[in-house]
Structure 1
Amino acid sequence: MDGPGHGDAALSAPTLTAREAGLVGCRQCTRVCEAADERCPRCGARLSSRDPGALQRVWAWWLAGALLFIPANTYPMLITSTVGRASEATIVGGVIELLHYGSYGVAGIVFFASVMIPVGKFVAIAYLAILVQRGHRTKPKHLLHLFEFVEWIGRWSMIDVFVVAILVALVQFDLIATINPGIAAVCFALSVVFTMLSALSFDSRAIWDRIKTLSND
């Protein structure tokens, strides 16, 4: 029978990482290989225990996406022409107009997908990158769950661009009514793509390096 403090000691014991065990995972086919191998025996991809340039790419794509997110919200997303009269609508302006017409559900979806999700992704990616740079005492599994969530939700940020594309394709009635995309649609699409590339550039394996450094203090 285990002693009274045996369970607590087991929980506080340091975790043996794959790097310490002399193993490395292939980022292409996920096979676990020997650290001495230069290439994966299954797919032939080059093996690397850590990506030394990952954080630089993360911040570069993050900054590009953040800069484009500003004009995406200040310039018009849609330009509507009705009987010779043109009107422009930004993302937030479109949400306010939907609220004015009583379409609360649609307004909530547009606001969540076009504002809340992109901003949340910027915050989450920056949070992960800063922790990996400076060290942390957060449980690695929580950070990994956050990283996986950021990767999964990234595709839903494009819903506003899809709506614009559908409206532009359907509403083309010459002088009666036409809808054209504004410059914000291009900026928003590029911002989403850049933040997705930023998340994909993040090397989640580096989370374990910083937690180990702090545990030895």
Structure 2
Amino acid sequence: MLTGISQNIIGCETCGLAQSTLPIQLHYKCTRCGSSMHIRKPNSIERTWALVIASYVLIIPANLMPVMATGSLFGTEKDTIFGGVLFLWDSGSQILAIILFTASILIPFSKLFSLTFLLISVQQRSTWKPRVRAKLYRMVETIGRWSMIDIYVATMLTALVQFGNLMSIRAGTGAIAFATVVVLTIFAAKSFDPRLIWDVVDSPENNKEISKE
């Protein structure tokens, strides 16, 4: 299987232009847009691991601490993400509960597990289905921003529902942790270099295995 690096070709991450890496240099500039280019993103694995580990640490308080606190004459009620899912389900809004569960719980955990799998497979120089892993990376990068639905709801309600001492809604400490997790996973997906998946397939014996997929 032919890869860009085996053919001395590099793609610009800004404009997408594929161009030759000859003559060999320490730094490359895109001939079309002038952006800096790298054969591989510098310290991609290390930076991605750092962001993923930080996300694992913060995702625990993000799910255990309240994301929204509702104050009224009857007291203050604090809701976690999962508590909001259960409330919507019990109140008859099953579709909204499924959407909230998918966007705020399933997607963030799936992104973290997927990035962890990709990092380990690259470090182990795995030849297992590079096309599947490349598609998995593109999916992770695409769906990342949709995890913010819970934060959008809390932000809008905080801005709209303020009735003095009668009722108020404010974002909880869990919302800060959750928003940080979403941002960190987005940065982690951006810092991971998917071209590392294909580096191991340059050898002839690995090319034969992959061509059978």
TM-score, normalised to structure 2's length? 0.90
Q: Secondary structure at the match of 2:195?
A: helix
Contact 1:134/1:210 (<8 A) preserved: no
Tell me by how many angstroms 1:84 deviates: 5.2
1:215 matched to 2:194? no
Instruction: State the one-letter code of the partner of 2:134.
Output: L
**Structure 1 CA distance for aligned equivalents of residues 159 and 172 of structure 2:** 14
Contact 1:84/1:175 (<8 A) preserved: no
5+ long unaligned stretches in structure 1: 1-14
Aligned partner of 2:141 in structure 1 is 151
Contact 1:136/1:211 (<8 A) preserved: no
Residue 183 of structure 2, aligned match among 169, 184, 193: 193
- Render the CA deviation track for 1:34-54: whole Å, top value 9, x for unaligned: 112532111222232112400
- Render the CA deviation track for 1:113-140: whole Å, top value 9, x for unaligned: 1100000000111111111110223222
Aligned partner of 2:5 in structure 1 is 19
After TM superposition, the structure 1 = structure 2 runs for residues 38-49 of structure 1, keeping only pairs within 5 Å, are 38-49=28-39
Question: Rg bigger for which structure?
Answer: 1
Greater mean deviation of Cα atoms: 151-160 or 48-57: 48-57
**Structure 2 CA distance for aligned equivalents of residues 46 and 111 of structure 1:** 40
Corresponding residue pairs, total: 203
Q: Secondary structure at the match of 1:204?
A: coil
Q: Secondary structure at the match of 1:80?
A: strand
**Structure 2 CA distance for aligned equivalents of residues 72 and 47 of structure 1:** 36
**Structure 2 CA distance for aligned equivalents of residues 178 and 106 of structure 1:** 23
- Render the CA deviation track for 1:47-103: whole Å, top value 9, x for unaligned: 321124000111111111221111111111111111151111111111112222122
Q: Secondary structure at the match of 1:20?
A: helix
Identity %: 39
- Alignment RMSD (CA, Å): 1.7
1:164 matched to 2:154? yes
Residue 98 of structure 2, aligned match among 85, 89, 108: 108
**Structure 1 CA distance for aligned equivalents of residues 10 and 85 of structure 2:** 48
**Structure 2 CA distance for aligned equivalents of residues 53 and 137 of structure 1:** 21
Q: Secondary structure at the match of 2:69?
A: strand
**Structure 2 CA distance for aligned equivalents of residues 53 and 201 of structure 1:** 9
**Structure 2 CA distance for aligned equivalents of residues 39 and 96 of structure 1:** 53
**Structure 1 CA distance for aligned equivalents of residues 12 and 99 of structure 2:** 38
5+ long unaligned stretches in structure 2: none
Aligned partner of 1:9 in structure 2 is none
1:66 matched to 2:30? no
TM-score, normalised to structure 1's length? 0.88
